[in-house]
A and B are shown apart, each in its own frame.
Chain A
Amino acid sequence: MKRLRHAAPALVLALGSTAIAQDAAPKIADCRAALIAETPTARPGTELSVGVRLVLAPGRHVYWKYPGDSGAAPVVDWKLPEGWVAGPIAWPTPHRLVQDGLVSYVYEGEVLLPVSLQVPAGAAAGDAILGATVHWVACSDEACTSGSDACQARVEIREDPPVADPAHAAAFAAARASLPKELPAGAATLEEFSGGIVLVVKGLEGSSAEFFPSDPLTLDETRPAVFDPTSPVALRIRLFPAPRRKEPVTRLRGVLVVHLDGSTASWTIDATTPERPPR
């Protein structure tokens, strides 16, 4: 146990708070996971919207699908009844956090990660238990911890049209509102300039913008995107290649966040240079 006292004081504290010090105030977990269903019932042969809700202790954050310089995104292992199929996590737009010169893409406070579950056509009427083991890494400026929470949600399988659970409606609405939207095909392209690349997006308006790449070693993420206000017909965002990168950036994937008059919208980007399609 000696090693543990040095290696993992938070873990020992957590153990103590539940196993021994029942009368003391429990330690607030760095991250708490829960599984919630948008509707308390589900129809066979349709999709059921669920979400993994993560609640962070103050000062802690969890990571986006691409975490940035450090950290790792939460991972969900599904334990679903036979025939059910879980779709991918729809990642809400994170925010960029710079600590000690390191760039991270994170969620703080509380976040809902929506997932669509396919309910099999042959699902029998009655209760279905949905299981999700959520593996998370939560960090602050001072420390990182990790954990695995095994969560469950219960839904009733019935033919009636599902009605949203009012207790969770606001959380799902907020998560959907922060999901990146899809652009029309061909709306986003890349141009090169001497110091980097320009992401050009037709049909969008904005007064400032941020870009969160989803591939490592593409951009110098310490340099914020530079918004070029001169074009009236397209957004032009200057970005800078990763240090020591020799190959030009010919394809850029990630999320573009556009600010205009106090509102924010985000867009999924997969842009290439017209002359040089991806190999």
Chain B
Amino acid sequence: MTRSLTLALSLSAALLAGCGSPENGNGNTTSPPAPQDNISAAAAPAFSLPDNTGKSHALADYRGKWVVLEWVNHGCPFVKKHYGSGNMQGLQKTYAGKGVVWLSICSSAPGKQGHQEPAGWTETLKSIGAAPTAMLLDVDGKVGRLYDAKTTPQMVVIDPQGAIVYGGAIDDRPTANSADIAGARNYVVEVLDAVLSGKPAPVTESKPYGCSVKY
């Protein structure tokens, strides 16, 4: 599905550009952001947001559990990379099975890419098979700014005591190309697998990549 859409856009662009038929290539020449292990664990700022059904979720409600925050904008090519491939939904399901709370957050302002009314969100989540614990709507962007969310996707892992153990990118391949998922070093997987088995997080910070959050 993603491929056919990419094709549609590319064709339209190609017609205007005088370029020929598009192909899906895989040419990652961008150097990966180096993880930097020098951030000390900081307390995750408290927040409370409504989900797409109107129910309110406070971070404090999940004290005692591992929590993942994931910033999303489903129009963003970098988010589509991870949802069109099923990568993000797979992580949500895998770690839900291990008791991890997964909160997707959209900080897009009304009128900007990624923003939807609650009913639209319900339909979107269903149609893409997203399985977060909750889809939180940060319409005024306050929680995004509280966490200094810069990109979609951007990931935060919070320990059961409420301290941030990881913040940054989902993986080390800062592209919008889903072919780059295979072979990427997935920081969220590394962190969760380590901490859930009682080990320290192998990486605590990386440079997030993606679209700018559309505040």
Contacts and interface: CB of A to CB of B under 8 A. Distances in A.
B111 A76 contact: no
Interface of chain B, main secondary structure: loop
Given A70-B150, A75-B175, A148-B24, A217 B211 contact: no
Interface string A67-80: 10111110111000
A151 B75 contact: no
B12 A27 contact: yes
Contact of A32 (B8, B13, B27, B150): B13
A92 to B, nearest CB: 17
B19 A151 contact: yes
Interface in A1-49: 2-4, 6-11, 14-15, 17-19, 26-29, 31-35
B57 to A, nearest CB: 22
B197 interface: no
Interface in B183-215: 205, 207, 209-215
B214 A216 contact: no
A135 B177 contact: yes
A268 interface: no
Given A29-B17, A71-B211, A146 B120 contact: no
A28 B207 CA distance: 32
A276 interface: no
Interface stretch (B30-38, B62-70, B90-98, B131-139): B30-38
Nearest to A19: B8
Given A7-B124, A75-B175, A17 B10 contact: no
A216 B174 CA distance: 12
B20 interface: yes
Which among B1, B21, B30 has the highest number of chain A CB atoms within 10 Å?
Answer: B30
Contact of B113 (A2, A143, A148, A215): A143
A137 interface: yes
Contact of B18 (A34, A67, A148): A34
B39 interface: yes
Given A100-B213, A148-B22, 13 more contacts: A3-B128, A6-B74, A7-B80, A11-B8, A11-B9, A33-B19, A131-B20, A133-B22, A137-B77, A144-B77, A146-B80, A148-B10, A148-B23
18 contacts: A3-B74, A6-B74, A14-B9, A33-B13, A65-B30, A70-B210, A72-B30, A75-B30, A77-B25, A88-B29, A135-B27, A137-B77, A141-B112, A144-B212, A149-B19, A216-B33, A244-B38, A244-B205
Shortest beta-carbon contacts, A-B, top 6: A146-B77, A143-B113, A77-B25, A3-B127, A70-B212, A32-B17
